[in-house]
Amino acid sequence: MIKIGILGGIGSGKSYVAKNFGHPVFDADQEVSKLYKKDRKIFNKLKKKLSKYIYSFPINKHEISQAVLANKSNLKKIVKIIHFEVRKKMSIFLKRNKNKKIVILDIPLLLENKINNKTDVLVFVESKKTDIQKRLKKRNNFNQKLYNKFKEIQLPLDYKRKKSQFIIKNNFTNKSVKKAIKNILKEII
């Protein structure tokens, strides 16, 4: 099985690119959302660590945002609890798809949390800063301060770019992304 890890900055279009590969995708953001909505164990752990911010189940993302904005160490506490569960979910995903030729890992903190293996193929999604800012501002829950906090815990984009075997220049058109993906698949299969 070939694992392809998708790297890039916040809002660069990683999920969009991941879906366009046409292979099973492990979407960490989606898994985190499910944990917030359905996992009482996660709620209890977060409530214990962040009792000033986390009140009710299902977990409200606004409460998470407030905790992150209030104190730098809160984000680390959240990441520690959540990423342990995300790893378990990824393990289940990989077992379920063990007979697939290729799987895609759409995990925002893939390198930061050392989730990837040396044999994984890394693809960096590069987008213009102006395009990213436009897209982020269109999100109804966009918060610049929160965005900055998340950027602080991420490795520099230059580092991620250097670690990647492939770069997709995402100008947010289907045609260019599909062509780049086709070329990557041709090279790795």
The percentage of the chain sitting over the pLDDT mark of 70, rounded to a whole number, equals: 100
Cross-strand bridge partners of residue 121: 4
- Is the model's pLDDT at 173 over the cut of 80? no
pLDDT in tens, 93-150: 999 999 999 999 999 889 888 888 888 999 999 998 888 888 888 887 788 888 888 8
Q: Read off the tokens for 180.
A: 């780049």
Q: What pLDDT does 34 receive?
A: 95
For residue 60, give the DSSP letter: P
pLDDT in tens, 11-69: 899 999 999 999 999 999 999 999 999 999 999 999 999 999 998 899 988 899 999 99
Q: What pLDDT does 184 receive?
A: 96
Question: What b/e sequence results for 68-83 when a residue is b if at least 16 CB atoms lie within 10 Å of its CB, and e otherwise?
Answer: bbeeeebbebbbebbb
**What crossing angle do the helices spanning 40-49 and 72-96 adopt, rounded to 10°?**
160
Q: What pLDDT does 64 receive?
A: 92
Residue with more model confidence, 154 or 99? 99
Q: What pLDDT does 144 receive?
A: 82
C-alpha–C-alpha distance, residues 145 and 136, integer Å: 13
Q: What pLDDT does 130 receive?
A: 84
**Residue 85 CB partners (closer than 8 Å, separation 6+):** 31, 35, 39, 42
Strands 2-8 and 25-27: unpaired
Q: What pLDDT does 148 receive?
A: 83
**What crossing angle do the helices spanning 28-38 and 40-49 adopt, rounded to 10°?**
90
Q: What pLDDT does 112 receive?
A: 87
Q: What pLDDT does 15 receive?
A: 93
* Sign of the dihedral defined by the CA atoms of residues 26, 29, 34, 36, in that order: positive
C-alpha–C-alpha distance, residues 121 and 146, integer Å: 30
Neighbour tally for 176: CB within 10 Å:
13
Cis amide linkage into residue 58, ω under 30° from 0: yes
Strands 102-106 and 2-8: parallel
- Is the model's pLDDT at 175 over the cut of 80? yes
